Structure 1
């Protein structure tokens, strides 16, 4: 998992409440277990028309936001089913941070496990960032995880909270496998003792 330390990027405004995981990545994309290639299906029903052509009015299709790395969204983002494909699709598109007044619990947890920082802020703070995000290519925010602050294009600063354990995992790029591998020496020592005490378990 890529480390998340400080992110400076264009923020795209998505002022919609209750964006569910089916809106983020529709069910027809769930056949794959690969984490790559899902970016093209992100927000499929809003990004494309029935013929597969881009909807020019959708924010991520606008030239200024095609390379957005931050999403400023409405409350209850990521509700609905628990599909992990939703953060996979966001990450594959290039989104590393989502800012909203609230998130669905499972989606919130899945973001951290995949290197995305979900930030919960009061509605009035989200409204300020949403206003900043309306500036198109000038909507550049800096998200500093180490110091837990967001800097806007005019130099304004907003502090945010994050669980210390999850913060460490993002800063060090540790997913569940990475956390397990931190205990590799203890695991090896246990297996050595187990083989010595019960050699028949290692037979064959």
Structure 2
């Protein structure tokens, strides 16, 4: 058992000598997200309200990530979704089918070898070519805004945007990550 442990440590030291981190480019992250979405269609975000005024499903068609060093490092996400379902308003139940493009900002976290978005916040929503700022959405849609944001947060709590398992360096780095930093065009995983 000791020999195997020493061998693993020697291998890790050799593999990581001169290496103090792993970098995940924005291009690779977007490729991974596109691949995952194509394999899991339809990928859904359910949006319901307890008072039964809203029962919608967002079918996630695509997601585009833009990494930025702004505000200490943020992930900007544009989701393209088709939204289907029912809304009860004005004493009637309306059936809805339209395209919805929520824009979000988020941090990132690493859990085991999986990279997740942290507490994504809606910054803008486009509905069939109509643009809503976050403030207008809050004032016109009220709690629907909060429900949509919570539904998206629940979705990203369960769906990682990347897994550090594409090669031996990533797999080893996943166990040794000390700090995560979002820069322009990359997520840096510092080790030791």
TM-score (norm 2): 0.23
Structure with higher RCO (Cα < 8 A, 6+ apart): 1
TM-score (norm 1): 0.22
